[in-house]
Amino acid sequence: MDRDRCFEALARHVDCEIVVSAYQGAFAWLRIHPRELNCYSVGAMGLASSLGFGLALGRPDKRVIVLDGDGSLLMNLGSLVSIAAAAPRNFVHFVCENGVYESNGKHPIPGRGTVDFAGLARAAGYRHCHAFSDLAEFEAEIGSVLRGEGPVFVDLKIESGATQSVDYEYIYSRRLRDTFREALRRS
């Protein structure tokens, strides 16, 4: 599947949720669905799931969606167990599985093609686990997936995308962080 098309389908269902996105997925999400309640986890590989987990615990009144990468999640597999143990009902964890470290030259991830990310989440204790490799099926089921009681895990089997231009100065800017903090305070 194409990540942008998956994110476009997801964006049609995102309104007042907090969305934490990592690396190339963060830049794609910023382009597809820019909004104040987006939190970008760039520069701290592997921490999107932990950041989203903390937000889910701190704001149980808001659904938190994490848009993780497969390479990023491999850097922090322990987060799956911590998330499952706390069982935040408002937590939805997407992993974009393309088999490469896309931000770092598309080098293959360890276990490419053999790691079962949804199986790892299931074994860790996530309440609901899904895997999608067909866009039409994902589009048909995304609404019910997002309404599921968390923690929910979704493995999106995507193709590695074209390298996109990235604006690190903006994504690291104080203005962007302050905008997110203010949106959290208001919501």
Q: In order of start, what are the domains of the chain with their CATH numbers?
A: 3-162 (3.40.50.970)
Average pLDDT over residues 117-135: 97
Distance CA 38, CA 171 (A): 11
**Average pLDDT of the chain to the nearest whole number:** 90
Q: Which of 58, 31, 38 is nearest to 180 (CA)?
A: 38
pLDDT at residue 143, as a whole number: 96
Average pLDDT over residues 86-106: 84
Distance CA 152, CA 56 (A): 12
Q: Which of 47-51, 53-57, 150-154, 171-175 has the lowest mean pLDDT?
A: 171-175
18 close to 57: Cβ distance less than 8 angstroms: no
In this predicted model, what pLDDT tens digit does every residue of 17-28 receive, in sequence order?
999 998 788 888
Q: Hey, what amino acid is at 14? A: V
Which of residues 161 and 88 earns the better pLDDT score?
88
In this predicted model, what pLDDT tens digit does every residue of 142-162 receive, in sequence order?
999 999 999 999 999 998 766
**What order of strands is seen across the sheet that includes strand 91-97?**
38-41, 18-22, 64-69, 91-97, 152-157, 128-132
Distance CA 52, CA 107 (A): 26
